[in-house]
Structure 1
Amino acid sequence: MRRSERKRERPDLGILSGRTLFSLQKELFTRLSEMGHAQVRPRHGAVLAYLDAEGSRASDLAAQSGQHKQVIGTLVDELVALGYVERRPDPADRRAKLVVPTELGLDHMEKSDAVLVEMEAEHARAVGEEAYAEFKRVFQLVAERQTGVR
């Protein structure tokens, strides 16, 4: 059996994760575009998915997303230019900066959360509530083990 056939019939964790991520991003960002957020791209998720409403430090965003701090800096620059976030002094440490969502950024974050809840509900209906809950539990354990992040 050729490798490509084997991977198609018995995909490994990398292939399954990649397929899931890319398909999820495509649907999520298509729906968000229809809701008025056409300028945001999947790469911006490294910031917006982890951003706290009251703001986050870029170093924390980098650690949570697994991206380099320089990548996060570039993404924050893009999101500032698009009007989704702004940089503000961190009240806890005036030398540090917080990345804070604007009203537009908060709208995107709220809509993104709502779309993901809908998508998960659709999956749960398709495979069964218990099966989906068990899948998420096990997938979280695998992700934690793989990344060392709990």
Structure 2
Amino acid sequence: MADRERWGFELPLLLFAGFRSLIDQLHAELADHGHPELRPVHGFAMQAVGRDGVTASELGRRLGVSKQAAGKTVDRLAALGYAERVSDPADARRKLVRLTPRGQDALVLSGAVFEELRGRWADRLGQERLTELEDALETVVGPAAFGLDAAGWFGD
């Protein structure tokens, strides 16, 4: 198959299929470890909340969605026990979104699972090929590769 000519549309489909495969495997592992209700959008949102918390407006900017859409995501994360709204110590009129210990646990677990999944790819492809793939993708996409706004980019 490597010797055949590929069509231009295949590259984004293969990249997306690789992404989807990793994310689906991640969520299967998360479900097995007590987080069955988490969805990919929740992961993007929890990463965007970060360690120090964030306002709903800032969360929306980081995710590339409206403040209202960010608020709905926060509502869902709060209902599931992954995030909470607290008073901002710098301005009591504002609310910050913070991760709960459950949310922090899910992020730590996600990181460990991604390491395991990367290891599986290294086993299949070989460490050298995987590193070459990562380096090549990093060269092509540049620093924009690590944006959290994918949830907003994919749409509702």
Look up the match of 2:135.
Answer: 137
CA distance in 2, matches of 1:95, 1:103: 24
Give the SS at the match of 2:48.
Answer: coil
CA distance in 1, matches of 2:134, 2:99: 28
> Residues 30 and 36 of structure 2 are in contact (CA less than 8 Å); yes or no, is this contact kept in structure 1?
yes
Q: How many residues are aligned here?
A: 142
Structure 1 residues 1-150: aligned runs within 5 Å: 11-13=10-12, 15-144=13-142
> Residues 87 and 95 of structure 2 are in contact (CA less than 8 Å); yes or no, is this contact kept in structure 1?
yes
CA distance in 1, matches of 2:57, 2:134: 28
1:30 partner letter: A
TM-score for the superposition, normalised by structure 1: 0.77
Bigger relative CO (Cα 8 Å, ≥ 6 apart): 2
> Residues 44 and 75 of structure 1 are in contact (CA less than 8 Å); yes or no, is this contact kept in structure 2?
yes
> Residues 26 and 110 of structure 2 are in contact (CA less than 8 Å); yes or no, is this contact kept in structure 1?
yes
TM-score for the superposition, normalised by structure 2: 0.74
C-alpha spacing 1:87/1:142, structure 2 compared with 1 (3 Å): farther
What is the alpha-carbon root mean square deviation over aligned residues? 2.7
Structure 1 residue 70, shift from structure 2 partner = 2.8
Unaligned runs of 5+ in 1: 1-5
CA distance in 2, matches of 1:142, 1:64: 23
CA distance in 2, matches of 1:27, 1:148: 20
C-alpha spacing 1:56/1:143, structure 2 compared with 1 (3 Å): farther
